[in-house]
Amino acid sequence: MVMVKEELRKGPWTEQEDLQLVCFVRLFGERRWDFIAKVSGLNRTGKSCRLRWVNYLHPGLKRGRMTPQEKRLVVELHSIWGNRWSLIARKLPGRTDNEIKNYWRTHLRKMTKKQRRSNSSDSSLHDHSLVEPGELNSSSDCSSSSLASEKNGGVKSYSMDKIWNEIDSSEEISSEPSVEEVSQGVADFSCMLMLSPLWKMDDELRML
DNA sequence: AAGAGTTTCAACCGCAGTTCG
DNA sequence: ACGAACTGCGGTTGAAACTCT
């Protein structure tokens, strides 16, 4: 028998992987990521699973651009705490440290550009307006919980709403099942049945 | 219209801190 | 007390989308 060690998957997550991860996080909670990674049959590291959950799948995440208020808060807090992104993120409910970090980088770039320009043209630098032109009226389309670019028909063109709907509709399960329950086969947990290659693997093994 | 430059965002990596056996 | 495994954080990268010329 030849043991083929499957390579860990990297790169963008598929809708199916997301569903799978959400199911297993609901089962086991937001901890033991390595365990979840193994048990779920996702070919990902625990780290990768955690990151995906925290930055993307976690319910209650706000989607869409940051509002001018949020931007202002980020700048204020950054002036106090520096690059303590996770700390700053805690003051902005629904925002992740990654998001804030990303925002800060672009913000910083804009500022340095502005500065360079104003240095060269000797204009004043008072405009600390964090609000880009046109932002105030159009701001915060957070209501749309669709993923970044639903326009592109790529891998990512599905929405979190859709995922959560699918999950909700497929579960009437208590929030915290015991490990025993799980091990004896919460397998009737429909999404697990359908999704986890682990169970498939089990069947395949039996066949041998 | 097309190509270059810029922005945005998701994901990976390495490291440090924490937990557990 | 100690080492291994796990977790969380900050930095960085790369691809896709968008804007400008």
The pLDDT tens digits of the residues spanning A65-90 come to: 888 888 888 888 888 888 889 889 98
Residue A168: pLDDT band (50, 70, 90) is: low
The pLDDT tens digits of the residues spanning A172-200 come to: 433 434 333 443 343 344 444 444 444 44
Burial tier of A99 (Cβ tally within 10 Å: 0-12, 13-18, 19+): buried
Higher pLDDT, A34 or A174: A34
- CATH 1.10.10 for domain A68-138, yes or no, is yes
- What pLDDT score does A26 carry? 87
| A96-CA/C2-C1' distance, Å | 35
Residue A163: pLDDT band (50, 70, 90) is: low
- What pLDDT score does A197 carry? 45
Sequence ranges of chain A with CATH classification 1.10.10: 68-138
**Averaged pLDDT, A24-46:** 88
Residue A117: pLDDT band (50, 70, 90) is: low
- Whole-Å CA distances, A51 to A45, A57, A82, A90: 10, 9, 22, 16
**Per-residue b or e along A50-65, where b marks 16 or more CB atoms closer than 10 Å to that residue's CB:** bbbbbebbeeebbbeb
A14 CA: nearest nucleotide by C1': B10
Note the strand B nucleotides within 7 A of protein beta carbons.
Answer: 7-14
Please name the residue whose C-alpha is nearest to the C1' of nucleotide B19.
A32
Residue A201 has pLDDT above 60, yes or no: no
The separation between CA A170 and the C-alpha centre of its own chain, rounded to angstroms, equals 21
- What pLDDT score does A107 carry? 79
Residue A167 has pLDDT above 70, yes or no: no
Length of chain A: 208
Which residue reads 């290659």 in tokens?
A197
Judged by phi (left if over 0) then psi (alpha if -120 to 50, else beta), residue A133 lies in: beta
Measured between alpha carbons, how far is A57 from A159 in angstroms, rounded to an integer?
10
Q: Does the predicted model carry a pTM greater than 0.75?
A: no
**Per-residue b or e along A5-16, where b marks 16 or more CB atoms closer than 10 Å to that residue's CB:** eeeeeeeebebe
**Averaged pLDDT, A144-157:** 36
A11 CA: nearest nucleotide by C1': B11
CB under 7 Å from strand C:
A 30-35, 46-47, 50-51, 83-87, 97-98, 101-102, 105, 149, 151-152, 154
A66 CA: nearest nucleotide by C1': B8
